Structure 1
Amino acid sequence: MARTPQSYSSSVWLQLAALLLGAVFINAVMLAVQPIVSAVLLYVSVNIVLLCTGAYTLWFSIRIQKIYMADADKLRSAVALLEDKLELKASRDDSPAAALAKVTSQVTHLLKRDQEVRHLVRVQGLIDHELAVGNRVFFESKLQHYLSDQSEVGYGAVYIVQLSHPEISRAGIKQVSRLKGCVDVLNGIAAGYADTVIARLSDTDLVMLIAGLSGKEMEKLGDRMAVLLSRASCFADCAGQDVLHIGYAGYQREQTSYQILSEADMALKTAQLHGPNAAFGFILQSDKPQAKGSVWWRSELNKALQEQRFALSFQPVFSWHDGEIIQHEVLVRLQSNDNGQIPAAIFLPMAHNCGLSSQIDQHVLIKTAKLCAADMGNYSRCSVNISIQALLEPQWWQWLDHMVISGQLEPDTLALEITEHHLLKHYKQLRKSLIKLHTLGFALIIDQVGLVIDNAVYLDELPLESVKLHPSVVRNIDQHLEQQLFVRGLIASYAGKSIRVLATGVELEAEWQVLQKLGIAGGQGFYFSQPMNQIITQSQL
């Protein structure tokens, strides 16, 4: 081990002290025998000590100088090597400290740039950079998801907003400004609905999808959008009153995205014939299955809680590395009185409107915990989706604390999933609460990543274990380079943070092969297993 200057200093002074003590001891002995001889010896010994001290001091100074010179040379060599790798222009007059400060500044700059590049790669293929919303590829993938996925509400509306007089001068600066103003208005409207998607279809067209919107609501919203958009401040400098038109069409599951967009485009052309700032749409006659009023839903959901008619199913999530089961996601269905099953996509929005989401979350957590406790150790943990409404209620947190303290909930057997687009809307309110969940021992998972394109502000602040891709990002990913680029950038943004990226909705082998090449950590979907009535072990597959 190399000796430090401090160790050399201690050694020198210890030796001098020993020499001085030896001289004092000899002089004391001689003083008792011969006083004159003792005086001579004292004089000689003091001079010897002084000479030794001077010699040691000189030697110590030379030694320290050599050590520091060697360390400075090593530091200069290391800094020079870093400067070469970072392509910095070095100055001979720079001290090692100044050179090191330059290197530190450059490394900080490169780290920041690396984060920006990763975010750019993440969204490059799916975003319109002028408006900071999704592009046509992004929107069509989301629309296809809502038209085919059984877990989503099977109906809704698509609105196309088109500027009436595109700007052709000044490189379309005014046009982009007006489109940005329209996007701000649409974001305000979208805030009132659970599931929305906003994107840019073309140079002058915006599109918005709203899931779960019925015929009458669709028509009212179309007229409201026309009024709000035409009065937006971005059109204040327009010479005429005719600034935009809106066409909309209702959709149902199993239709094609081409059919829906074609109908919305036809409605847009009809709106143009109706006059300035008009809205027109094609509404499906039977677009709202299981249509019931809020009073019926409140009564039905309360009865279902009392009678425990919420059925749980479990879909395993498999690891890419070894094929083992990582966890089971808990899926919820409502058993109706006529022995039918209502999917969560139908009853959960109604539960939210009736203020019953947190009670349903409590019921599902308790039921899942009992199943886990019944056969502990034979299978992996379960993950449960938690509503934003529950996380925002103080009463729910009191209940959770009690359940954990009493041992009725074992955090290490449960992971809690939070939907990304809901998290982003309420992030400031939820950040501390989510950190508390982790402190209690629950693993945190962000679900439906990729449904919206936005900065993941939570990435560096939440102790996440995993994120799960939205099924629309996964579907047919082998055929779409844009989606592959998105997933690659997403995985890169989580690199080094020990956060797994999982895929949901995997249905085809070709999709799974591409996802593995992109670096995905695991996946779930019909390609692996359908949801089952019980939790299974690896050996039961």
Structure 2
Amino acid sequence: MKHTKILTKKMTSFWLLSLAAVAFVFLLCAVMGFTQLTYNFQQQKVAELETMLVEDYQQHGSNQFSSWLPPLLTAYKAVDFSLSHEHQVVYQFHRDQIDTTKSNLTVYQTQLNPGQLSMKLVMPPPFSLYDLGWHELIILLIGFISIGIFVRFGYGWYSRELDGVEQLALRSKLILDGKLKQAAEVPTNGKPRMINRALSKLLADLDDAHKERGRLDQFIRKDTFLDKQTQIGNPIFFQNRLDALSHDQKMMAHGVLMFIEFDDVDLVENEFGEGGMKAMLSLTTEAITAALTQYEDSIFARRSYSQLAIVVPQLSLIEADQLAQRILKTCLALPFYGIGDPDNFFHLGCAFFKTGDLQIQLVEEAEMALRAAQLQRVNNWFMYDKGALDEEIAKGSVRWRSFLENTLVSKRFFTLQQAIVDSDDQVLHYEIFSRARDIRGNDIRATLFIPMANKCGLMPQIERQILEQVLFRLMNDNTLTYSINLSLDSLISRAFVRWIQSTLLEHRPLASRLIFEVSEDIIVKNQKNTLLLKTLDMLRKMGAKLAVDNVGQYVVGSHYIQEYHFDLVKLHRSIVRRVHQRPENQLFIRSLIGGLYRAEVKVIAEGVECFEEWQTLKILGVSAAQGDFLGQRSEV
């Protein structure tokens, strides 16, 4: 914010106005005094002339006037003079060089000796007879320069004296604008110092309160969804995430479900105590977490006392086999000190699933695979494979890249929209979802082509094509508002950022009707990515709104929501699913809304599928929602 020094300008303006008023009064008095003085002086000269005329007339009559009176009248600058005796003109004088038609001439008409002499004297105004000389002009110039220097010195003195107050005003304005971080960075030497110290202390306490609120929110998440021993997801977290991957108990994508079980866990605890048991679990979970790093959407949780669960969506059967082998090899390399039977201690059961598979059946198949691995009585893994794979899943990376590039060239990406409805059942805006269409006219779901597009680095081109369709629709309808999800690749792509910046500059009114959604996982993992943060800041300054998506999918704090000025928060469907039956999910939502109480942030739920969920969300304070219960996705 530009430092305008409002108080200094106001004080200086008042001071200058007061000084000008005083100077005007003094100047007016001086002019009036000068005018009055010149009139008195002129009247005094006229009175002297009258006395001289009476004395001369009494001594010599009218014969001597022509000898001494003309030079005297000329010295008086008289314009016209006449002396009469009993209404007969005795002497008359007139100057031809003076314009006698001027109305501002001064006329003196006096009866010198009643019944005998009368005088009429016409003279110019007395103050017009005086001109300023060069020395007077120099004095005036010196006076004006002195006044200027004095005013400039006074302005500087006011600026220095009020500089501290200006800092307080600046900090106050930043606080009122909600820019608390900038207010805390303003120099703290403002005056009065006690007020400045109080502001600094309140800002520090407020910042600490925000952090404490974030820590409390994260603690609630951890206490609700994390296992205390391993610090990975607990059974509630696992079930929530598994429900989020299904719709009507049917899986919405393909992938693999793995159950890992340790035999003779009781022997470990008896021999090494609870600390040894915890150390073993920690080593195992750290090793498995490292193996799952490259799978961003993977789910890792503790399902029971001796059993871990892994879900990796969007994974082919070959990749699932490779992952199971890598996990088994990694875990067997850990030092378990020959506890129980070291050759029959670790077992892994896998069940590959595809779109449409029942969730209950999937869990049963994974448990059957685990039992099959345990029956072999060696450290091993077993994959339960029905052998029925989608044709789309069988495509290799090369075929996927060729398909996506051809779809981009022929512009076969199209959009679906779903309404976001507020608590009064009014449509706030629409969210855009993408689809691809192959050469045979079949629709390819985004859950299939997006992971492959990310691997091939084509997401910026795809999202640009989708965004162009949305912008065209906005230009044709002034009432619509759309939200669009952007990937990390697009947000850090310089070409994509330049394009969207130039497009929004060209169509500035459309920016306010756009909402850009970013996944919570992207924000949390890339908080030090300056290019990402600059892109989000640029979109916000252009007038677009920002939304953070998939909130609650991971156990992280929520302080980033206000730090990066998000306008909307969208709850992950795993938090929304059956929320009316899950007090722990309700606790999380209450905590999140409570932390955003004074922020102008709306909380939106996605994946609402029944009346009970929507009613519970409204009671908890959720502003709006989307889902099949509130409206199906439709092609636009």
1:510, distance to aligned residue in structure 2 (A) = 0.8
Structure 2 residue 599 is matched with structure 1 residue 501 = no
Aligned partner letter, 1:307: S
Structure 2 Cα separation of the partners of residues 326 and 467 of structure 1 = 14
Match of 1:138 in 2: 237
Match of 1:160 in 2: 259
Cα shift readout 1:463-502 (whole Å, capped 9, x = no counterpart) = 1011111122212212222222222222223222222110
Match of 1:383 in 2: 483
Aligned partner letter, 2:628: F
Cα pair 2:255 2:314 within 8 Å, conserved: yes
1:153, distance to aligned residue in structure 2 (A) = 5.2
Cα pair 1:313 1:533 within 8 Å, conserved: yes
Match of 1:308 in 2: 411
Match of 2:294 in 1: 192
Match for residue 427 of structure 1 among 527, 539, 543: 527
Cα shift readout 1:351-377 (whole Å, capped 9, x = no counterpart) = 11221111001111111011001111x
Aligned pairs for 1:116-515 within 5 A: 116-148=215-247, 154-166=253-265, 167-169=268-270, 172-232=274-334, 235=336, 241-242=342-343, 243-290=345-392, 291-320=394-423, 322-376=424-478, 378-379=479-480, 381-407=481-507, 410-429=510-529, 430-456=532-558, 458-515=560-617
Cα shift readout 1:108-141 (whole Å, capped 9, x = no counterpart) = 8777655433333345332223322221122122
Cα pair 1:215 1:285 within 8 Å, conserved: no
Q: Percent identity?
A: 27
Structure 1 Cα separation of the partners of residues 491 and 208 of structure 2 = 38
Cα pair 2:213 2:595 within 8 Å, conserved: no
Cα shift readout 1:167-219 (whole Å, capped 9, x = no counterpart) = 32465222222222222222222221242111110122211100022222222
Q: Note closer, same or farther for the CA distance 1:303–1:151 as it changes in structure 2 (3 Å cut).
A: farther
Cα pair 1:443 1:465 within 8 Å, conserved: yes
Question: Any unmatched runs of 5+ in structure 1?
Answer: 1-95, 535-541
Aligned partner letter, 1:308: K
- The alignment's TM-score, normalised by the length of structure 1, stands at 0.73
Q: Secondary structure at the match of 2:230?
A: coil
Cα pair 1:151 1:343 within 8 Å, conserved: no
- The alignment's TM-score, normalised by the length of structure 2, stands at 0.63
Question: Which piece of structure 1 moves more, 457-466 or 337-346?
Answer: 457-466
Question: Which piece of structure 1 moves more, 117-126 or 361-370?
Answer: 117-126
Question: Which piece of structure 1 moves more, 488-497 or 359-368?
Answer: 488-497
1:313, distance to aligned residue in structure 2 (A) = 1.6
Aligned partner letter, 1:326: L
Q: Note closer, same or farther for the CA distance 1:151–1:419 as it changes in structure 2 (3 Å cut).
A: farther
Match of 1:68 in 2: none
Match of 2:139 in 1: none
Structure 1 Cα separation of the partners of residues 484 and 339 of structure 2 = 51
Cα pair 2:508 2:542 within 8 Å, conserved: no
Structure 1 Cα separation of the partners of residues 459 and 315 of structure 2 = 20
Q: Secondary structure at the match of 1:372?
A: helix
Cα pair 1:506 1:512 within 8 Å, conserved: yes
Cα shift readout 1:143-162 (whole Å, capped 9, x = no counterpart) = 12223279985211111122
Question: Which piece of structure 1 moves more, 349-358 or 479-488?
Answer: 479-488
Q: Note closer, same or farther for the CA distance 1:215–1:393 as it changes in structure 2 (3 Å cut).
A: same
Question: Any unmatched runs of 5+ in structure 2?
Answer: 1-193
Cα pair 1:126 1:483 within 8 Å, conserved: no
Q: Secondary structure at the match of 1:334?
A: strand
Cα pair 1:122 1:489 within 8 Å, conserved: no
> RMSD of the alignment, in Å?
2.9
Kindly indicate whether structure 1 or structure 2 has the higher relative contact order, using CA contacts under 8 Å at least 6 residues apart. 1
Aligned partner letter, 1:296: R
